[in-house]
């Protein structure tokens, strides 16, 4: 394999015994530092070529546009990686609560109210804008406008998030998330209290058939598994749950708990509006009414370092609003 130093990087690969018969995207990913999603995009863009010898004309390049194409022994390929276009995003000097950082990774404790990456209606003030200021080399990661992002949490969910700072770290983190090799534990404060102490919620999730901004439990949906454990019960009024994600579907915890009739306090999408009655202790009632977002926090993030293999475990401290909510419920139901 060789690489050029031109504006368009050229990576040359010859298929050996170990790669023979593999899918094109798998084979190329295994011998270069690009992620599989990046390779697939380059294939779709017509930037992956097979070298073909034409008698009397020499070698020509034939674009291969199917990532499931099976490679064969001694075939040669070229990957043309264009220079990353300058991001339209401007770095913003926004403070980050950094739990860990080295040359490959950064783990942050995202505050509630911050969107992870730019989207319609959120063109500034996102975590990506803050990361671009903190990590000047980040725009080259994965060649997209979500530099280094391998997973996300909702705007109004707080807690731990890992971001890749190198292409190889990004590739390996994506693979780890796909294999569910990342430990993710959340805390949620909910209405009601379950009859069980621990429950494996194994219910598929898909886009809601009527409300396109929502997800819902659908038998034709993608597999989704959440293991919920009761940490505290406040009579039958409220409960605090610890949740382990075994998959990572959009709004997974919020959908699963709503389906279990345990809506998360403050959730404006998956919980009906709630006005605590006179049966709720005053301290608890005030705490619930002052909550401005869903009471959900990504507390624990654990993994093996994608480059060194060293075990890593991070605990994101609770933000002030959840500290106050938890203290109020403990006091009210002591």
Q: Let me know whether 237 and 313 are in one domain.
A: yes
Give tens-digit pLDDT for 186-233: 999 999 999 999 999 999 999 888 887 899 999 999 999 999 999 999
Q: Are residues 236 and 152 in the same domain?
A: no
For the cut 50, the answer to whether the pLDDT of residue 3 exceeds it is no
Whether residue 60 sits in one domain with residue 27:
yes
Q: What per-residue string of b and e applies to 112-141 under the rule 16 or more CB within 10 Å gives b?
A: bebbbbbeeeeeeebbbbbbbebbeebbeb
Residue 145 backbone class (left: φ over 0; alpha: ψ -120 to 50; beta: rest): alpha
Task: Answer positive or negative: Cα dihedral of 12, 16, 21, 22.
Answer: negative
pTM metric for this prediction = 0.76
Catalytic residue, candidates 25, 154, 267, 321: 154
Q: Does residue 87 sit within a domain?
A: no
Phi/psi for 274 (5° steps) reads -135, 125
Q: Say whether 17 is catalytic.
A: no
Rounded CA separation 44/266 (Å)? 43
Any bridge partners for residue 11, and if so which? 3, 79
Indicate whether 211 and 327 sit together in one domain: yes
The 3-state DSSP class for residue 17 equals coil
Q: Is residue 305 assigned to a domain?
A: yes
Closest CA to 149 of 162, 139, 136: 162
Give the relative orientation of helices 36-44 and 167-178 as an angle to the nearest 10 degrees: 100
pLDDT tens for 9-46 read 888 899 999 899 999 998 998 888 777 778 888 999 99
User: Is the same domain home to 17 and 60?
Assistant: yes
């Amino acid at each position: 394999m060789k690489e050029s130093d031109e504006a368009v990087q050229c990576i040359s690969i010859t298929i050996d015994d170990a790669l023979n018969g593999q899918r094109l995207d798998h084979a190329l990913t295994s011998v270069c530092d690009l992620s599989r999603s990046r390779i697939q995009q380059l294939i779709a863009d017509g930037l992956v070529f097979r070298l073909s010898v034409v008698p009397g004309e020499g070698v020509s390049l034939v674009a291969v546009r199917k990532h499931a194409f099976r490679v064969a022994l001694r075939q040669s390929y070229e990957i043309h990686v264009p220079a990353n276009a300058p991001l339209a995003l401007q770095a913003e000097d926004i403070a980050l609560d950094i739990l860990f950082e080295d040359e490959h990774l950064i783990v942050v404790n995202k505050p509630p109210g911050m969107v992870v990456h730019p989207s319609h209606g959120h063109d500034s003030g996102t975590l990506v804008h803050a990361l671009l200021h903190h990590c000047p080399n980040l725009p080259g990661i994965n060649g997209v406008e979500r530099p280094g992002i391998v997973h996300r949490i909702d705007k109004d969910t707080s807690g731990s998030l890992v971001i890749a700072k190198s292409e190889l770290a990004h590739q390996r983190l994506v693979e780890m998330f796909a294999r569910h090799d990342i430990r993710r534990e959340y805390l949620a404060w909910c209405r009601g209290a379950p009859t069980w102490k621990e429950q494996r919620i194994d219910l598929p999730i898909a886009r809601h058939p009527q409300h396109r901004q929502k997800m819902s439990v659908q038998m034709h949906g993608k597999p989704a598994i959440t293991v919920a454990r009761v940490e505290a019960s406040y009579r039958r009024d409220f409960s605090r749950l610890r949740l382990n994600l075994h998959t990572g579907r959009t709004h997974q915890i919020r959908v699963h708990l709503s389906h279990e009739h345990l809506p998360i306090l403050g959730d404006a999408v998956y919980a009906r509006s709630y006005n605590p009655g006179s049966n709720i202790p005053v301290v608890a009632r005030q705490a619930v009414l002052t909550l401005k977002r869903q009471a959900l926090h990504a507390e624990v993030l654990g993994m093996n370092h994608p480059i060194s293999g060293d075990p890593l475990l991070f605990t994101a401290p609770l933000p002030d609003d959840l500290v106050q909510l938890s203290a109020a419920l403990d006091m009210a139901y002591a």
